[in-house]
């Protein structure tokens, strides 16, 4: 397992090499073919993903107009982690946009890793706080722009 790939993921960026090696112990590799569904909106979020090779399309189905692609992820991107953290359902679909290789960590393995390695848990927690703050700020900016445009 390439520790530098783990280091690229925002939630693991603060970990040192020994801590990354501990994370690597609970990682498994999965491959998906072009067009294959990785997960669907509404499914239980029981694992997070780190994109090793290829592209993944994050989208949702909009009633009456079909699939709306929200973003295309490139190698190094981590996705599916929020449903693991808050034990919720998937909020989008994830589809292999090319043949791709993913590194996965199940919720139970992730929770055990954090429970037994408090330093890792602490660092990951702060990384998640920063990630969520950044995402919330972007959402607020997008909402502000949307509201400004809808007033005309």
Q: What is the CATH number of the domain that holds 117?
A: 2.60.120.10
Q: Specify the number of domains making up the chain.
A: 1
Q: Which two tokens stand for residue 57?
A: 């399309």
pLDDT score of 92 = 92
Cα separation, 39 vs 91, in Å, equals 10
- Edge-first strand order for the sheet with 66-73 is 37-39, 93-96, 56-62, 66-73
Which residue range forms the structural domain that includes residue 83?
Answer: 3-150
The predicted model scores a pTM of: 0.85
**In order along the chain (152 residues), what is the average pLDDT of each group of 10 residues?**
88 95 96 97 93 96 87 92 87 96 95 94 92 88 85 70
| Beta-sheet pairing, 28-32 with 78-79 | unpaired
pLDDT score of 152 = 65
Strands of the chain (E only): list them: 28-32, 37-39, 47-53, 56-62, 66-73, 78-79, 93-96, 100-106
Cα separation, 122 vs 131, in Å, equals 14
């Amino acid at each position: 397992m390439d520790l530098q790939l783990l280091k690229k993921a925002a939630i693991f960026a603060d970990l040192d090499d020994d801590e990354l090696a501990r994370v690597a112990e609970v990682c498994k590799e999965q491959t998906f073919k072009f067009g294959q569904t990785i997960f669907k909106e509404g499914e239980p979020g029981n694992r997070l993903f780190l994109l090793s090779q290829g592209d993944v399309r994050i989208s949702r189905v909009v009633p009456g107009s079909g699939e709306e692609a929200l973003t295309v992820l490139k190698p190094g991107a981590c996705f599916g982690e929020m449903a693991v953290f808050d034990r919720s359902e998937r909020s989008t679909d994830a589809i292999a946009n090319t043949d791709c290789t993913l590194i996965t960590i199940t919720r139970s393995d992730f929770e055990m890793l954090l429970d037994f390695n408090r330093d890792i848990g602490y660092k990951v927690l702060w990384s998640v706080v920063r990630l969520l703050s950044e995402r919330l700020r972007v959402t607020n900016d997008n909402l502000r722009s949307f509201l400004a445009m809808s007033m005309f």
